[in-house]
Amino acid sequence: MTLMSCNNSNPFLSDWTTPYSIPDFSAVQEKHYIPAVEAGIAQQEAEIQAIIDNQEAPTFANVVEAYERSGAILDRVMGVLFNLAETDGTESLQKIVEQALPMLSVHSDNISMNPAFFAKVEVLYNDMENLGLNQEQKMALKKLYNGFVNNGIALGEAEQARMREINMELSSLSNTFGNMLLAENNAFAEEFGVAISEYGEAMAATDDRALREKMFKAYASRGNNGNENDTKDLIMKMMALRIEKANLLGYENPAQMILHDKMAGTPEAVDTFLAGIMAPAVKKAQEEIVDMQVIMDQDIKAGLLPAGSKIEPWDWAYYTEKVRKAKYALDEEQTKPYFQMENVRQGVFDLTTKLWGLQYEKLENIPTYHADVEGFKVTDADGSYIGVILTDYFPRSTKRGGAWMNNFVNQEVVNGQEIRPVIVNVGNFAKPVDGKPSLLTLDQVETLFHEYGHALHGLLSQCTYKSVAGTSVARDFVELPSQIMENWAFQPEVLEGYARHYETGEVIPAELVDKITAAGTFNQGFMTTELAAASILDLKWHMLESVEGVDPMAFEAQACAEMGLIDQIIPRYRSTYFAHIFSGGYSAGYYSYLWAEVLDKDAFELFMEKGIFDKETATSFRQNVLEKGGSDEPMDLYRRFRGADPDPAALTRARGL
């Protein structure tokens, strides 16, 4: 199908005429996706051929900038297709994605393995310091050059052909992993009447220990049930391909390949970093077990449990809640009525108004892809337009678990015209039911603030080129804007603005705020241990140099033993449902949450010193981090904000370790 023949009927083949360039979801039908992908590939192929055919000497404008401006149709269709595949992934849409992925993989490789295109990029890269480029232009050129190198432009013909096969197969396997896990999550929900997003709450509130054990074992064995959605073979295929790809590019293992251009630099640096966190975290967790065992012993004396019962993994959430009540007189059932979803969302909006003067307007009658989606226009303190934020916070069987941010429209500047972004925040919070609104746990409040930090990184971006705009930064830097926002969530001055009882409108009592503050580092041994354990497990997988003779679950068990993980805690994600690393782009990068936490805790200490709403500090963070995207080296951006390197001890101080 040619561009001309379907331009009048396919909404992807022209600019959106909807308000604020929000995708025209109401016009999009499933039949439009594949023809639009085909048209988009044809368009970008022609645009890149024009770069190659240009007889003028290579310049930043006629090579890099021309490439940055290519692929408009693909940007539109992929922005919608992949977002909806995660948030409303019907079976028919999953099949469309499966059809599109090989086409997109071939197209991507055709670009990054094109010797004539690379020749022009290489000329510029080798003369970068003499071209008069600003720092953002240098970063865009560097990123484009590295894209060629990292995908094997220097390989021989046979090796490049094999690299293409690997890329295509990895793309397909990654998508299959996500679909299998969604099916496993839905099976869990069907068996227990508890959505995956509600698992933690259910484990904390379920008195029946046998039921807790059953739920825990079902949760922890997702993807490991010997059924059609068992992911173990898939993991082994993916790791074999990742190792082969790394070897083709001259690396001993995938971790070396992935980390060479990140802040951490090497697997050894990450390993040392994580080991330094794991040891104190486990020590703290063991202290937490002692506190829980005291209460369990009381239940034994009361005849509620057999003599000799010890804390097991399925007891942790339940007895943690009991310890929380005993130590701090803090009960989630007391706090949840004050955290209605809409009020928490307004709270994070109001915080950004205090920090940066942002203003919000609820948008009515805009196109959305689901009835749960709400939209808000964001403007700056001077009234200038910033972008649109869409929120999609409730679970459904077609939505994958977890919470995330994504772009429907990227921020960039094209021919002098500012393109402002359309951003979406997605969550899986309890849906209103029986007249009761969506009420959030303390963890979910933090999650909402966290994801809005990612949204701010996208919304406030002030870059020229989309390849370095917004969240297009090193993986171990991307969590700084999100995680720093969590620090404000439970500050008393912030809580008094948004934490109101959903029935009475009463502001959260100071006594309850004091309890939340006092419990701020509660259970951090467990939370840090499970996070560090998952990070180490990810790293161990990607430091493998061969999968020969490797049994996935035995490998995981050995990794957990070597890292010193105690029996009462499992990694936050076990291998068979570790979507971040097998379908989510965090391969050898899950450590970035802890790595960035050093930055965010160090950064927030400056706010604590100057005042949590200090305008000068907030402006500096906006100008040096939120607006800059990947337009400069991440540590340079951080130093400009902080005036110094981050203090590694900031993380352990904040977590009470």
* Residue closest to 599 by CA, chosen among 474, 452, 448: 474
Sheet holding 374-379, edge to edge: 359-363, 374-379, 385-392, 422-426, 404-409
CA distance 567 to 533: 12
Residue 230 vs residues 174, 184, 221, 541, 558: alpha-carbon distances, Å: 14, 9, 9, 18, 21
- The answer for residues whose C-beta is within 8 angstroms of residue 165's C-beta and 6 or more apart is none
Virtual CA dihedral for 91, 92, 94, 96, nearest 10 degrees? 170
CA distance 318 to 585: 33
3-state secondary structure of 122: helix
Give bridge partners of residue 387 from the DSSP assignment.
378
Q: Are 521 and 656 in contact (CB under 8 A)?
A: yes
Is 68 known to be catalytic? no
Question: In sequence order, which ranges of 10-90 are alpha helices (DSSP H)?
Answer: 30-53, 66-68, 72-87
CA distance 150 to 102: 19
How many other C-beta atoms are found inside a 10 Å radius of the C-beta of residue 458?
A: 27
CA distance 104 to 44: 12
Helix (H) or strand (E) holding 413: strand 412-414
17 torsion bin: left (phi>0), alpha (psi -120 to 50), beta (else) = alpha
Helix (H) or strand (E) holding 283: helix 267-301
CA distance 575 to 556: 7
Amino acid at 35: P
Token pair belonging to 554: 């035995």
Q: What angle do CA 529, 590, 420 make, to 5 degrees?
A: 130
Q: Which of 65, 201, 412, 451 is catalytic?
A: 451
CA distance 21 to 555: 48
- The answer for residues whose C-beta is within 8 angstroms of residue 196's C-beta and 6 or more apart is 185, 188, 189, 219, 401, 428
Which positions are annotated as active-site residues? 451
